[in-house]
Structure 1
Protein backbone atom coordinates (compact mmCIF):
# COMPACT_ATOMS: atom_id res chain seq x y z
CA UNK A 1 0.00 0.00 0.00
CA UNK A 2 1.16 3.52 -0.59
CA UNK A 3 0.81 6.18 2.10
CA UNK A 4 -2.53 7.32 0.66
CA UNK A 5 -4.30 3.97 0.97
CA UNK A 6 -3.84 2.99 -2.68
CA UNK A 7 -2.05 -0.09 -3.93
CA UNK A 8 1.52 0.03 -5.08
CA UNK A 9 1.90 -0.75 -8.74
CA UNK A 10 4.51 -3.14 -10.02
CA UNK A 11 6.88 -1.44 -12.45
CA UNK A 12 5.33 -3.30 -15.39
CA UNK A 13 1.95 -1.85 -14.60
CA UNK A 14 0.63 -5.29 -13.58
CA UNK A 15 -1.10 -6.21 -10.36
CA UNK A 16 0.27 -4.79 -7.12
CA UNK A 17 2.11 -6.84 -4.55
CA UNK A 18 0.36 -6.70 -1.21
CA UNK A 19 2.97 -5.84 1.38
CA UNK A 20 2.17 -6.50 5.01
CA UNK A 21 4.23 -6.22 8.16
CA UNK A 22 5.00 -9.93 7.70
CA UNK A 23 6.29 -9.60 4.13
CA UNK A 24 9.94 -10.71 4.05
CA UNK A 25 11.54 -7.88 2.08
CA UNK A 26 14.70 -6.71 3.88
CA UNK A 27 18.12 -8.26 3.32
CA UNK A 28 20.29 -8.63 6.40
CA UNK A 29 22.28 -5.42 5.79
CA UNK A 30 19.11 -3.32 5.56
CA UNK A 31 17.56 -5.09 8.56
CA UNK A 32 20.73 -4.38 10.53
CA UNK A 33 20.56 -0.68 9.65
CA UNK A 34 16.85 -0.44 10.45
CA UNK A 35 17.24 -2.19 13.79
CA UNK A 36 20.47 -0.46 14.75
CA UNK A 37 22.29 -3.77 15.17
CA UNK A 38 25.31 -5.34 13.52
CA UNK A 39 24.56 -8.01 10.88
CA UNK A 40 26.52 -10.54 12.94
CA UNK A 41 24.18 -9.86 15.87
CA UNK A 42 21.21 -10.62 13.61
CA UNK A 43 22.85 -13.90 12.60
CA UNK A 44 23.40 -14.77 16.27
CA UNK A 45 19.78 -13.97 17.14
CA UNK A 46 18.70 -16.20 14.25
CA UNK A 47 20.90 -19.08 15.48
CA UNK A 48 19.47 -18.69 18.99
CA UNK A 49 15.91 -18.65 17.66
CA UNK A 50 15.13 -15.15 18.93
CA UNK A 51 14.21 -13.81 15.49
CA UNK A 52 13.64 -16.23 12.63
CA UNK A 53 13.58 -14.46 9.27
CA UNK A 54 12.32 -16.12 6.13
CA UNK A 55 14.85 -17.64 3.73
CA UNK A 56 15.30 -17.27 0.02
CA UNK A 57 15.89 -20.38 -2.12
CA UNK A 58 19.62 -19.55 -1.84
CA UNK A 59 19.30 -19.55 1.99
CA UNK A 60 19.65 -15.77 2.29
CA UNK A 61 17.76 -14.17 5.17
CA UNK A 62 14.80 -11.91 4.44
CA UNK A 63 13.43 -9.85 7.31
CA UNK A 64 9.93 -8.39 7.61
CA UNK A 65 8.84 -5.20 9.35
CA UNK A 66 7.62 -7.40 12.23
CA UNK A 67 11.09 -8.97 12.44
CA UNK A 68 12.66 -5.49 12.60
CA UNK A 69 10.32 -4.54 15.47
CA UNK A 70 11.23 -7.76 17.26
CA UNK A 71 14.94 -7.09 16.78
CA UNK A 72 14.47 -3.66 18.33
CA UNK A 73 12.55 -5.18 21.24
CA UNK A 74 15.28 -7.78 21.83
CA UNK A 75 17.85 -4.99 21.87
CA UNK A 76 15.72 -2.92 24.28
CA UNK A 77 15.20 -5.83 26.67
CA UNK A 78 18.90 -6.63 26.57
CA UNK A 79 20.28 -3.10 26.88
CA UNK A 80 17.65 -1.24 28.91
CA UNK A 81 16.24 -4.05 31.06
CA UNK A 82 19.41 -6.11 31.45
CA UNK A 83 17.70 -9.37 30.47
CA UNK A 84 19.95 -12.09 29.08
CA UNK A 85 19.22 -13.70 25.70
CA UNK A 86 17.79 -16.89 27.24
CA UNK A 87 15.34 -14.78 29.24
CA UNK A 88 14.44 -12.76 26.17
CA UNK A 89 13.79 -15.95 24.23
CA UNK A 90 11.46 -17.16 26.98
CA UNK A 91 9.64 -13.81 27.02
CA UNK A 92 9.13 -13.99 23.25
CA UNK A 93 7.84 -17.57 23.50
CA UNK A 94 5.40 -16.62 26.27
CA UNK A 95 4.18 -13.58 24.32
CA UNK A 96 3.56 -15.81 21.32
CA UNK A 97 1.65 -18.28 23.50
CA UNK A 98 -0.45 -15.46 24.95
CA UNK A 99 -1.24 -14.17 21.45
CA UNK A 100 -2.23 -17.67 20.31
CA UNK A 101 -4.43 -18.16 23.39
CA UNK A 102 -6.08 -14.77 22.91
CA UNK A 103 -6.84 -15.71 19.33
CA UNK A 104 -8.31 -19.04 20.47
CA UNK A 105 -10.43 -17.32 23.13
CA UNK A 106 -11.80 -14.95 20.48
CA UNK A 107 -12.66 -17.95 18.26
CA UNK A 108 -14.40 -19.70 21.15
CA UNK A 109 -16.33 -16.55 22.08
CA UNK A 110 -17.60 -16.32 18.51
CA UNK A 111 -18.59 -19.99 18.62
CA UNK A 112 -20.45 -19.50 21.91
CA UNK A 113 -22.24 -16.44 20.54
CA UNK A 114 -23.20 -18.38 17.41
CA UNK A 115 -24.48 -21.28 19.51
CA UNK A 116 -26.52 -18.88 21.68
CA UNK A 117 -28.12 -17.33 18.60
CA UNK A 118 -28.87 -20.78 17.17
CA UNK A 119 -30.37 -21.87 20.50
CA UNK A 120 -32.58 -18.77 20.65
CA UNK A 121 -33.76 -19.40 17.10
CA UNK A 122 -34.53 -23.03 17.88
CA UNK A 123 -36.32 -22.04 21.07
CA UNK A 124 -38.43 -19.56 19.09
CA UNK A 125 -39.30 -22.34 16.61
CA UNK A 126 -40.37 -24.63 19.43
CA UNK A 127 -42.51 -21.92 21.02
CA UNK A 128 -44.08 -21.15 17.64
CA UNK A 129 -45.07 -24.81 17.32
CA UNK A 130 -47.06 -24.86 20.58
CA UNK A 131 -50.78 -25.49 20.25
CA UNK A 132 -52.75 -22.36 21.04
CA UNK A 133 -55.87 -24.20 22.24
CA UNK A 134 -54.21 -25.52 25.38
CA UNK A 135 -54.92 -23.79 28.65
CA UNK A 136 -52.65 -23.49 31.66
CA UNK A 137 -53.08 -26.12 34.35
CA UNK A 138 -53.81 -25.06 37.88
CA UNK A 139 -52.89 -27.36 40.71
CA UNK A 140 -56.24 -28.49 42.17
CA UNK A 141 -54.61 -29.72 45.36
CA UNK A 142 -54.16 -26.15 46.54
CA UNK A 143 -57.93 -25.65 46.69
CA UNK A 144 -60.78 -27.74 48.09
CA UNK A 145 -63.06 -27.13 45.10
CA UNK A 146 -64.10 -30.04 42.96
CA UNK A 147 -64.86 -29.46 39.32
CA UNK A 148 -66.66 -32.07 37.26
CA UNK A 149 -66.90 -31.76 33.54
CA UNK A 150 -69.15 -33.80 31.36
CA UNK A 151 -69.34 -33.43 27.62
CA UNK A 152 -72.68 -32.53 26.14
CA UNK A 153 -74.40 -35.38 24.36
CA UNK A 154 -76.40 -34.54 21.34
CA UNK A 155 -77.96 -31.45 22.87
CA UNK A 156 -80.15 -33.38 25.43
CA UNK A 157 -80.07 -32.22 28.97
Structure 2
Protein backbone atom coordinates (compact mmCIF):
# COMPACT_ATOMS: atom_id res chain seq x y z
CA UNK A 1 0.00 0.00 0.00
CA UNK A 2 1.27 3.46 -0.92
CA UNK A 3 1.64 5.96 1.93
CA UNK A 4 -0.66 8.97 1.82
CA UNK A 5 2.44 11.19 1.75
CA UNK A 6 4.45 9.23 -0.84
CA UNK A 7 5.09 11.61 -3.73
CA UNK A 8 4.68 9.25 -6.64
CA UNK A 9 2.17 10.71 -9.10
CA UNK A 10 3.32 12.74 -12.10
CA UNK A 11 1.28 15.85 -12.91
CA UNK A 12 -0.81 14.22 -15.65
CA UNK A 13 -1.90 11.38 -13.35
CA UNK A 14 -2.51 13.73 -10.41
CA UNK A 15 -4.59 16.02 -12.63
CA UNK A 16 -6.70 13.10 -13.81
CA UNK A 17 -7.20 11.80 -10.25
CA UNK A 18 -8.18 15.29 -9.07
CA UNK A 19 -10.43 15.92 -12.08
CA UNK A 20 -8.47 18.97 -13.21
CA UNK A 21 -6.30 20.12 -16.09
CA UNK A 22 -2.52 19.86 -15.50
CA UNK A 23 -2.18 23.61 -16.08
CA UNK A 24 -4.51 24.18 -13.11
CA UNK A 25 -2.17 22.13 -10.93
CA UNK A 26 0.78 24.22 -12.11
CA UNK A 27 -1.13 27.41 -11.24
CA UNK A 28 -2.07 26.09 -7.79
CA UNK A 29 1.58 25.20 -7.20
CA UNK A 30 2.67 28.75 -8.16
CA UNK A 31 0.05 30.16 -5.77
CA UNK A 32 1.19 27.85 -2.96
CA UNK A 33 -2.15 26.06 -2.61
CA UNK A 34 -0.51 22.67 -3.16
CA UNK A 35 3.23 22.14 -2.96
CA UNK A 36 4.17 18.85 -4.61
CA UNK A 37 7.54 17.23 -4.23
CA UNK A 38 10.14 17.66 -6.95
CA UNK A 39 12.40 15.29 -8.80
CA UNK A 40 16.03 16.13 -9.46
CA UNK A 41 14.92 17.41 -12.86
CA UNK A 42 12.36 19.68 -11.09
CA UNK A 43 9.37 17.60 -12.25
CA UNK A 44 6.40 17.68 -9.90
CA UNK A 45 5.43 14.58 -7.92
CA UNK A 46 2.09 14.52 -6.10
CA UNK A 47 1.00 12.42 -3.13
CA UNK A 48 -2.48 11.13 -2.31
CA UNK A 49 -2.63 13.89 0.31
CA UNK A 50 -1.85 16.48 -2.39
CA UNK A 51 -4.62 15.07 -4.58
CA UNK A 52 -7.09 15.24 -1.67
CA UNK A 53 -6.07 18.88 -1.17
CA UNK A 54 -6.63 19.58 -4.87
CA UNK A 55 -10.13 18.11 -4.61
CA UNK A 56 -10.82 20.26 -1.55
CA UNK A 57 -9.60 23.37 -3.40
CA UNK A 58 -11.96 22.53 -6.25
CA UNK A 59 -14.88 21.93 -3.86
CA UNK A 60 -14.32 25.19 -1.98
CA UNK A 61 -14.06 27.10 -5.24
CA UNK A 62 -16.99 25.56 -7.11
CA UNK A 63 -19.45 24.63 -4.36
CA UNK A 64 -18.71 27.28 -1.74
CA UNK A 65 -17.67 30.14 -4.05
CA UNK A 66 -14.45 30.87 -2.14
CA UNK A 67 -11.74 32.70 -4.10
CA UNK A 68 -8.20 31.32 -4.29
CA UNK A 69 -6.82 33.74 -1.67
CA UNK A 70 -9.56 32.61 0.72
CA UNK A 71 -8.86 28.96 -0.05
CA UNK A 72 -5.17 29.46 0.65
CA UNK A 73 -6.02 31.00 4.04
CA UNK A 74 -8.44 28.17 4.85
CA UNK A 75 -5.77 25.57 4.04
CA UNK A 76 -3.21 27.44 6.19
CA UNK A 77 -5.64 27.56 9.12
CA UNK A 78 -6.50 23.86 8.75
CA UNK A 79 -2.80 23.06 8.77
CA UNK A 80 -2.32 25.14 11.92
CA UNK A 81 -5.25 23.39 13.62
CA UNK A 82 -3.71 19.99 12.73
CA UNK A 83 -0.34 21.11 14.14
CA UNK A 84 -1.98 22.31 17.36
CA UNK A 85 -3.95 19.06 17.70
CA UNK A 86 -0.71 17.08 17.40
CA UNK A 87 0.86 19.31 20.05
CA UNK A 88 -2.11 18.79 22.40
CA UNK A 89 -1.90 15.02 21.84
CA UNK A 90 1.82 15.15 22.57
CA UNK A 91 1.23 17.04 25.82
CA UNK A 92 -1.64 14.76 26.86
CA UNK A 93 0.73 11.81 26.60
CA UNK A 94 2.64 13.38 29.51
CA UNK A 95 -0.45 14.04 31.60
CA UNK A 96 -0.07 12.15 34.85
CA UNK A 97 -1.21 13.66 38.12
CA UNK A 98 1.70 14.93 40.17
CA UNK A 99 4.31 14.66 37.38
CA UNK A 100 6.21 17.75 36.33
CA UNK A 101 6.57 17.76 32.56
CA UNK A 102 7.66 21.34 31.96
CA UNK A 103 11.06 22.83 32.55
CA UNK A 104 12.94 26.02 31.80
CA UNK A 105 15.60 25.70 29.17
CA UNK A 106 18.80 27.80 29.60
CA UNK A 107 17.61 29.91 26.62
CA UNK A 108 14.56 30.92 28.67
CA UNK A 109 12.12 28.79 26.69
CA UNK A 110 9.61 26.71 28.63
CA UNK A 111 9.70 23.17 27.29
CA UNK A 112 7.92 19.88 27.88
CA UNK A 113 10.27 16.98 28.50
CA UNK A 114 9.88 13.24 28.65
CA UNK A 115 10.42 11.17 31.75
CA UNK A 116 14.04 11.11 32.82
CA UNK A 117 14.97 13.82 30.32
CA UNK A 118 15.19 16.79 32.68
CA UNK A 119 18.39 18.64 31.86
CA UNK A 120 20.52 20.52 34.33
CA UNK A 121 23.27 23.07 33.81
CA UNK A 122 25.99 21.83 31.46
CA UNK A 123 23.82 18.93 30.28
CA UNK A 124 21.42 21.31 28.55
CA UNK A 125 21.73 21.60 24.77
CA UNK A 126 23.12 24.83 23.32
CA UNK A 127 19.84 25.62 21.60
CA UNK A 128 16.27 24.96 22.61
CA UNK A 129 14.86 21.64 21.43
CA UNK A 130 12.33 21.88 18.63
CA UNK A 131 9.34 19.63 17.91
CA UNK A 132 10.35 16.59 15.91
CA UNK A 133 14.09 17.02 16.42
CA UNK A 134 14.31 13.71 18.26
CA UNK A 135 15.39 15.20 21.58
CA UNK A 136 12.00 14.64 23.24
CA UNK A 137 11.02 18.24 23.99
CA UNK A 138 8.69 20.82 22.55
CA UNK A 139 8.87 24.57 23.10
CA UNK A 140 5.71 25.71 24.87
CA UNK A 141 6.54 29.32 25.57
CA UNK A 142 9.31 31.63 24.49
CA UNK A 143 9.99 34.91 26.33
CA UNK A 144 8.86 37.87 24.25
CA UNK A 145 6.98 35.65 21.75
CA UNK A 146 3.34 36.22 20.96
Tell me the TM-score normalised to structure 1 length: 0.61
1: CA distance, partners of 2:13 / 2:98: 51
1: CA distance, partners of 2:83 / 2:67: 25
Q: Deviations over 1:51-110 (max 9, x none)?
A: 000000000000000000000000000000000000000000000000000000011111
Aligned length, in residue pairs: 100
Stretches of structure 1 lacking an aligned partner (at least 5 in a row)? 2-18, 120-157
Between Structure 1 and Structure 2, whose CA radius of gyration is higher?
1
Q: Partner of 1:83 in structure 2?
A: 66
Moved over 2 A (4+): 116-119
2: CA distance, partners of 1:83 / 1:74: 9
1: CA distance, partners of 2:34 / 2:93: 32
Alignment RMSD? 1.3
Distance apart, 1:118 and its partner CA: 5.2
3-state DSSP class of the match of 2:94? helix
Q: Partner of 1:5 in structure 2?
A: none
Q: Deviations over 1:16-46 (max 9, x none)?
A: xxx3000001000000100010000000000
1:26 and 2:4 are equivalent in the alignment: no
Q: Partner of 1:138 in structure 2?
A: none
2: CA distance, partners of 1:118 / 1:67: 40
Distance apart, 1:112 and its partner CA: 1.9
1:95 and 2:70 are equivalent in the alignment: no
Aligned match for 2:40, one of 57, 62, 65:
57
Q: Deviations over 1:91-150 (max 9, x none)?
A: 00000000000000011111123xx3758xxxxxxxxxxxxxxxxxxxxxxxxxxxxxxx
More helix by share: 1
Tell me the TM-score normalised to structure 2 length: 0.66
More strand by share: 2
2: CA distance, partners of 1:25 / 1:33: 14
Q: Partner of 1:47 in structure 2?
A: 30
2: CA distance, partners of 1:117 / 1:24: 44
